[in-house]
Structure 1
Amino acid sequence: MKIKESISIALKISSILSFVYLLSMLYFVFVYNYSLWLGFLILVLFFSLSVWIIQSYIERYIYNKIKLIYKFIHDHKVKKTKGKSEKERFLASLDSVHQEVLGWSEDYEAEILQLKKLEKYRKEYIGNISHELKTPLFTILGYVSTLLDGGLKDDTINVKYLERSEKNISRLIRIVKELETIGQLESGELQLNYSSFDIQDLCAEVIESLDAKAVEKNTAVFLRKNHQKSRLVYADKNQIQRLLGNLIYNAIKYGYSNSGKVKISFFDMDTNILIEITDNGPGIEKENLPRIFERFYRTDKARNREAGGTGLGLAIVKHIVEAHHQTISVRSTIGIGTTFGFTLEKTNISKH
């Protein structure tokens, strides 16, 4: 409570008391012939004294009620103002707490906004995972129902429907396994088997394994390999192979057919090596880039689901990189293409 407010309260209370005194004084003046001037003098003194007493009492009362709180949270500030009076220290503490409360309020509002944002993402995540699981399950149910209703005896559809059911079951198993992998990476339960290997050679192996997909899309894949210099990194080779397979496969899959180009480049960064996978595809909208590594997040849901995949590939890629204590980034320009880049630790010959 400010000083002005305590004075205002004291004036109001004193005015009421003085009014009561005035009525009493007038009674004694007219009934018992007391001196009118003496009565008014006493009234003025009474009013002034009551204002001072009431104001002092209010300030003392407030101070006594909250001084224990300020003792704990403002001792260090009180020490800096030892030369000041008790009232000045008290007012300084009030001003300081006011600023702290304002700061806390701003932080709290920011926290609420962040929680609302996370809640929105949570709802989207639940909706996405429901869709990813529901689609193959309903498809399997449809095929099985048809077979049970007599289709099992129809040689024109029985094998085809069983094969399609198997395909959707495999998709469900893949989703569950990839979710399990992400959980293990997040919790640190998945142990990484570090070894030294040439990242250029590993990229060449991955490109060779995806040759059929590149031929199908008529996409050229270029590896900017330095034949004069090896690129030794220290990492889990199997996990990095999985990471590269996902990024290069996506670059081929979502690029332009018949004119697609994918380029893998390497850059020396002191203790790390930067690996970049670049395509000349349609690109990714700017607003989608911050969420590109989220589970089940798709920039074009209809097209991506038709193209297959679990929607977990990039989430796994991000967690693999982070499990190695490295960084991954993405940049994209609509109509020009997209580049994914990640770093790996160089092999330190003396250390490893």
Structure 2
Amino acid sequence: MFKPKNLSPQQLSAFTALMLSVPISLGIWIIRPDWLITLISFVVIFLGSYLLIRVVLESFIYRKIKLIYKFIYQTKASKREETYYKYILPQKGIDEVREDVEKWAEQRSAEIELLKNNEAYRKEFLQNLAHEFKTPIFAIQGYVDTLLGGAMDSPEVSKRFLENTARNVDRMVNLVEDLDEISRLESGEQPLYKENFVIQDLIREIYETLSIKTSAKNIRCSIKKGCESPLIVFADQEKIRQVINNLLENAVKYGKQDGSIVASVYTTDEEHVLIEFSDDGIGIAEEHLPRIFERFYRTDRGRSRDKGGTGLGLAICKHIIEAHGQTMHVRSKLDVGTTIGFTLERRRE
């Protein structure tokens, strides 16, 4: 369907020149009914109008549009962009230019929204970081001040306070080490040493390592029936050990007495293996699920801090899995339990 508003500058010039030359030529023919003079008049008026209108459009309108495009890109035009401005842009209709500007505006709006979210995340992160450091520092300060104030005269009190101080120092050391590990993972400074290994064997090893903690709550750890057949993955075994160990410690920490933890291993396709760990613990509320992999994010700050840990475990897990080029996921429901898992690359010859 013919739409004048979608015409390029050349087409718009020609259309406008035609609209001018036809009635003027008809007027000339009415005054002097000579087809030759009328035809010559039509050609002259059409060409003159076309050239004049095109010059006006390109010199004034599209010059302004070029400035808009340069403002959009906010850089000195490269040779490629100059070619675009000279040959491609003048071929575009006004509506196409409008669409380009609207698309740019949407991108800018998305960038601004992302920056706002990042700024909010940065502020929250710094606030959480300060709080995580402040707690052990104030505790250490309190114990030291008490000892200096005369508590050292009592060997029993001194020992208890020094033990509490040592625990808070260990907490700070763990916090710094976790932050350092995340920084190295993000920057790519921590290399991965990938190898082929049986994922079920690694899971059983970690089950055995955590047996004291699981026995204390009488939690049964197992591999799901049908998933026992050995599956070989290609990954950094020690890093994956760290991931699984962290996930299982969380499952034990927030699991219920006489509960269970079940590991599932599936082949999703010819290139990937899915590993999941399911527990029947307290679960996670739906509104917290999108944020549990953020640094220091706690679903219940008071209770989580009492349980111990730095609040960086899941963030480290996510970074390790992403460093492998894979993804993590979580499903959970309050008072039902949590399933958390990740994918790994299958055996590489």
Task: Compute the TM-score of the two structures, normalised by the length of structure 2.
Answer: 0.75
Corresponding letter in the other structure for 1:300: D
The change in CA–CA distance for 1:336 and 1:63 in structure 2 (over 3 A counts) is same
- Determine the C-alpha separation between the residues in 2 that align with 1:254 and 1:174: 20
**CA positional deviation for 1:77:** 5.3
1:111 deviation in Å? 2.1
Q: Is the 8 A contact 2:332 2:338 kept in 1?
A: yes
Give, in angstroms, the shift of residue 216 of structure 1. Answer: 1.9
CA contact (8 A) 1:255 1:280 kept: yes
Residue 67 of structure 1 corresponds to: 62
Counterpart residue number, 2:264: 265
Is residue 227–residue 265 contact of structure 2 (8 Å, CA) maintained in 1? no
**Letter of the 1:181 counterpart:** E
Which deviations, in whole Å up to 9, do the C-alpha atoms of 1:67-126 show, x marking residues without a partner?
Answer: 3454844732545xxxxxxxxxxxx64333223222222222222222212211111111
8 A contact 2:200–2:228 mirrored in 1:
no
Alpha carbons 1:137, 1:168 under 8 Å: kept: yes
- Partner of 1:284, secondary structure, is coil
Q: Are 2:123 and 1:123 equivalent residues in the alignment?
A: yes
**More displaced stretch, 189-198 vs 168-177:** 189-198
Per-residue Cα deviation, 1:234-282 (whole angstroms, up to 9, x for no partner): 21111111111000110111122x2322111111122222111001122
Q: Does 1:325 align with 2:325?
A: yes
What aligned pairs does 1:157-168 form with structure 2 within 5 A after superposition? 157-168=157-168
Distance 1:120 1:228, change over 3 A: closer
Alpha-carbon spacing, 1:335–1:228, altered in 2? closer, same or farther (3 Å): closer
Taking the aligned partners of 1:103 and 1:330, their CA distance within structure 2 comes to 34
Aligned match of 1:6: none
Which has the higher Rg, Structure 1 or Structure 2?
1
SS of alignment partner, residue 102 of structure 2? helix
- Aligned residue type for 1:192: L
Does the CA-based 8 Å contact 1:217-1:253 persist in structure 2? no
Determine the C-alpha separation between the residues in 2 that align with 1:211 and 1:315.
25
CA drift of 1:311 comes to 0.3
CA contact (8 A) 1:196 1:232 kept: yes
> 1:35: which partner in 2?
none
**Distance (Å, rounded) in 2 between the aligned partners of 1:222 and 1:333:** 21
Q: CA RMSD in A?
A: 2.5
Q: 1:340 to 1:260 in 2, by over 3 A?
A: same
**Residues 183-225 of structure 1 deviation map (CA, whole Å, 9 limit, x = unaligned):** 1111111111222221111111111111111122232222237
Q: Deviations over 1:292-350 (max 9, x none)?
A: 111111111111011110000001101111111112111112221111111112223xx
Whole-angstrom CA distance in 2 between matches of 1:239 and 1:318: 11
Q: Which residue of 1 aligns with 2:335?
A: 335
Letter in 1 for 2:260: K
Task: Give unpaired runs (5+ residues) of structure 2.
Answer: 6-51, 67-82
In structure 1, distance between residues paired with 2:238 and 2:264? 20
In 2: Cα distance, 1:301 partner to 1:171 partner: 16
Q: Secondary structure in 1 aligned to 2:207?
A: helix
The 1-side partners of 2:332 and 2:208 are apart by 26
CA contact (8 A) 1:282 1:335 kept: yes
Provide the rounded CA distance (Å) in 2 between the counterparts of 1:251 and 1:343. Answer: 19
Q: How does 1:188-227 map to 2 (within 5 A)?
A: 188-224=188-224
Name the residue aligned to 2:280: 280
- Number of residues paired by the alignment? 282
Match of 1:310 in 2: 310
Q: Helix, strand or coil: the match of 1:338? A: strand
- For 1:156, what is the secondary structure of its paired residue? helix
SS in 2 for 1:180: helix
Instruction: Give the 3-state SS of the residue equivalent to 1:235 in structure 2.
Output: strand
- Percent identity of paired positions between Structure 1 and Structure 2: 43
Report if the CA contact (8 A) 1:289-1:330 is conserved.
yes
What is the CA distance between 1:148 and its match in structure 2? 0.7
- 1:228 deviation in Å? 6.9
Moved more, 108-117 or 123-132: 108-117
Is the contact made by 1:74 and 1:93 (CA closer than 8 Å) also made in structure 2? Answer: no
Taking the aligned partners of 1:58 and 1:229, their CA distance within structure 2 comes to: 78
